[in-house]
Amino acid sequence: MSRWAYCLLFLLVSTCVFAQDKALALTGTLVTPDEIVPNGTLLIQSGRITAVGAHVAIPQDAIVVQTNGIIAPGLIDLHNHLTWNIFPRWKPIEEFGNRYDWQQKPVYNVLMTAPHAAIVSEGLECAAERYAEVKAITQGETSVVGSLHAPCNRGLARNLDDDPSLGKIVYNVFPFQMSEKELKDAKDVLSANGALLIHVAEGAPNDASAAREFTMLKGRGLLVPGVSLIHAVALKPDDFAAMHDAQVGFVWSPRSNIELYGDTANVAAAKSNNVVTALAPDWSPTGSDGLLGELNYAATWVQSLKKKADDQPLFDDKTLLTMATANPAKLAHVDSKLGQLQPGFLADALVLHPHGSQFGHDAYWAVIHAAPEDIALVMIDGKAVYGDPDVMKQLTGGARLESLEICGAQKSISFASEPGTQPTFRETEDTLDHALRQWSQKLAPLSECRN
């Protein structure tokens, strides 16, 4: 038997360094586009998935990883503001009509705008970006949107809005403030089969000024295929019908909507009109720390709608997971490469300890109810990036590996993909914490903990 066959993660203490020229076989419960596959195998080579299923032929010299866990696609976040995720949670004492209301409040300037501007002016925006990407990865995310562009693209998570190898994605927070040139550039991207992600109708459901933005959107010629609307809380059922007819997508961020506006978008209308919907956390000050947290929140919100225990939920567990994987990949026009465990796709995967199975729940339930401490492994491009310390040491050999503690659980993260010489992550944390203390704040934790 090959010596690589003895490289069984979670079972042996010997170190087995991942070799790029060898296939890697992850065994466990697979979450595929069509079904859950117990005792399945995910075969990876040269950064891509080569086979998936219950009866995969494993090459004799492959590295075999028995995860004893749940193997799902890496999560894809289409709505974030990464450098703001260094700030502690903001708990407004009132609900707002729309986003322009709270952005003009003195308390928002004191707690967020002024310190963020200082962080940028001190040249710490790349440190904030680095911290935020680590935060995203510890939430099971392998792809993000809302990053700063080069030189802050440091090679941790996939930055979909700054990765020309995956196509062109434009992410715009204030689409109605775009200059004519910016508007033309955005339309050129759409004409070239790119994607445009824009914040529209962010406010309370009955806020007239937020609702008017849908009319403004049509007036600027942006109700067209390739566009996805973020928030859309003030839209009416007829608006979602128009979105479907125009092949426009929707990015849903329920926690931040409810925290700021007291309610969220009419996702029932989005569902009934078959609008492709992705789930995303917005930002950690009023949303979730990342997509695992937002999946938890969305599942709880869906459960709260049920009048009786046996009522059918608005979204089942499989649909919610699709909103964090295949659907955002489709909206970003990367659905031939990301979002599913499929042969030929890039090998972005999330492995979770199977908590919940003892109560009769399936793998879909286990993923959407998972906590960050449940993550066993995150892989991007077939490389081990984050996970349990023994897993990471065995797959990376310990190169540029650093320790983290997430809600009492010890984890390790690899910075081997970062170019050049970088500070340690602890140094990045200390630098940001020191800068925030000038504003009487502390660096936000990587994760909120349940206990």
**Is residue 308 located within the same domain as residue 388?**
no
Residue bearing the bigger pLDDT, 2 or 35: 35
Task: Identify the CATH number of the domain in which residue 135 sits.
Answer: 3.20.20.140
Q: pLDDT of 209-230, one tens digit each?
A: 999 999 999 999 999 999 999 9
What is the overall mean pLDDT for the chain? 92
Q: Is residue 117 part of a domain?
A: yes
Q: Identity (one letter) of the amino acid at 243? A: M
Distances from the Cα of 190 to the Cα of 162, 180, 280, angstroms: 16, 15, 22
Residue 47 lies in a domain: yes
Query: Of the residues 331, 366, 397, which one is the last residue of a structural domain?
Result: 331
Nearest Cα neighbor of 299 from 319, 276, 284 is: 319
Percent of the chain scoring above 70 in pLDDT: 93
pTM of the predicted model over 0.85 = yes
Decide if pLDDT at 171 tops 50.
yes
Q: Looking at the structure, tell me whether residues 318 and 183 fall in a common domain.
A: yes
In whole angstroms, what is the distance from residue 34 CA to residue 318 CA?
10
pLDDT surpassing 60 at residue 419: yes
* Cβ-based burial of 396 (10 A; exposed 0-12, middle 13-18, buried ≥19): buried
435 within some domain:
no
* Same domain, residue pair 306 and 344: no
Residue 359 is predicted with a pLDDT of: 56
Q: Is residue 46 domain-shared with residue 152, that is, in the same domain?
A: no
pLDDT tens for each residue of 343-361: 999 999 999 998 755 556 8
Tell me: the pLDDT tens digits for 61-84? Answer: 999 999 999 999 999 999 999 999
Q: Is 80 helix (H, G, I), strand (E, B) or coil?
A: strand
The CATH number of residue 33's host domain is 2.30.40.10
Residues 216 and 358 placed together within one structural domain of the fold: no
Task: Specify whether 22 is located in the same domain as 81.
Answer: no
| E strand map for 32-85 | 36-45, 48-53, 63-73, 75-77
Domain count, the chain: 2
User: Does the structure show a pLDDT above 50 at 266?
Assistant: yes
Flag whether pLDDT at 151 surpasses 90.
Answer: no
In-domain check, residue 253: yes
Kindly state whether residue 211 falls inside one of the protein's structural domains. Answer: yes
**Model confidence over 1-22: pLDDT tens digits?**
333 333 443 333 333 444 456 8
Instruction: State the residue range of the domain holding 236.
Output: 76-331
Counting residues of the chain whose pLDDT is more than 90, the rounded percentage is 85
